Structure 1
Amino acid sequence: MAILTTARLRLEPFNLSHLHGLHEMNADPEVMRYLSGRPETREETMAVIERVQARWLEFGYSWWSFIDLASAQVVGAGCIQNLRRTNTPLPDRTCPLEIGWRLRRDRWHQGLASEAAVAMADFAFGALAAPELYAVCDPENAASASVMRRLGMDDLGIDTWYGHSLRTCRVTAERWASRKS
């Protein structure tokens, strides 16, 4: 399981020590507004941690907790995972890889999502040799769409993922490599 580091964050694969911080973030209705549309219970957060740990072992990628280096607190979460057409919890390895993120509300608008996303994209294109990487968001989620633009992703319009009509963006490995040079 890969631990990634940025200037301000350590990205650690979900583990039980992250339960409190992840639940605190996922219980905030504003954080979950464009994701599930509702706060998550502690039991749901625990089940997600267990599911994510299994995916790390099976696939070699999944969700990370974003740990603030200065405070050692969980301030966000992000992933490399396979997109899904339906809203089932089962991964679909035939779908392309997706990059995703969320932050605690008190950490919004500080550049942390972009900082973590660059590290996760580097992991996807490097360690996983991904040919492309997608990101999706609710069409009303301007903050996530802004991160996608900062990553140099092309807007492909609206497509159906997770059973919802979502803004869909993509960056290829070739474009990512040229962005980095």
Structure 2
Amino acid sequence: MTILETKRLKLIPFCDDHLAGLTAINSDPEVMTYIGNGAPMSEADSQAMIDRVKPRWTSHGFSWWSVFRKDDNLMIGAATLQPLAAQTGAVPEIGWRLRRDCWGKGYATEAAERIVLFAKELGIPEVVAVANPGNIASIAVMERLGMQYRGIETHYNAPCAVYQVSLRLKTVQEAAAPLSQAGEGH
């Protein structure tokens, strides 16, 4: 299980010790507006979430992290790299949710950027992110990450705006090929 860090954040794999912080986030109706069926989650639901995703660390090498601010060690959110809609063999998706009092401070972008870098380090060729089409804030994060809009698709039994980004590393020769071809015959 991998701990990730950024300038302001520490992402620690979900564990039972994070239940109170996760429940505080998941039980906020505004946080959950665009997640799942839009209903707040109970403490039991949050524990079930932790129990459900912990084994993915062993099977996939990635899963869900609790997001902590470094300056005060406050759990401010949760973020993920996981198979899209928990489908085996699916393209990995990134996702996030934050405490309402932490919205608009760049934390989602910062955590997501680090997770994308982690995916690249693992050799994952591309990642996607999905959001309710009305979730303008999450879509803005996807665009800040340089993700490209793919369209509206059904995931998690709902229509989702889907964004993707390729993480493939090009060789110098591959990157230069279009330039050399453009100069031919002119």
1:115 aligned residue (97, 102, 110): 110
Deviation at 1:48, TM superposition (A): 0.9
Deviation at 1:52, TM superposition (A): 1.6
Deviation at 1:125, TM superposition (A): 1.1
Which amino acid counterpart does residue 138 of structure 2 have in structure 1?
A: S
1:162 aligned residue (156, 160, 164): 156
Give the count of matched residue pairs: 169
Provide, for residues 98-120 of structure 1, a one-character-per-residue CA deviation record: whole Å limited to 9, x for no partner.
Answer: 00011000000000000000110
C-alpha distance in 2, partners of 1:57/1:48? 16
Of all paired residues, the percent bearing the same amino acid is 43
Q: In the alignment, which residue of structure 1 is the partner of 2:80?
A: 79
Unaligned runs of 5+ in 1: 85-90, 177-181
1:125 aligned residue (85, 106, 120): 120
Provide, for residues 106-158 of structure 1, a one-character-per-residue CA deviation record: whole Å limited to 9, x for no partner.
Answer: 0000000000001100111112x111100000000000000000000000111
Asked whether 1:134 is paired with 2:128, we answer yes
Helix, strand or coil: the match of 2:56?
A: helix
C-alpha distance in 2, partners of 1:78/1:175? 24
Asked whether 1:100 is paired with 2:100, we answer no
CA RMSD of aligned residues (A): 1.3
Which amino acid counterpart does residue 113 of structure 2 have in structure 1?
A: V
Normalising by structure 2, report the TM-score.
0.88
Would you identify which runs of 4 or more consecutive aligned residues in structure 1 move more than 4 Å? none
Contact 1:83-1:162 within 8 A present in 2 as well? no
Deviation at 1:69, TM superposition (A): 0.6
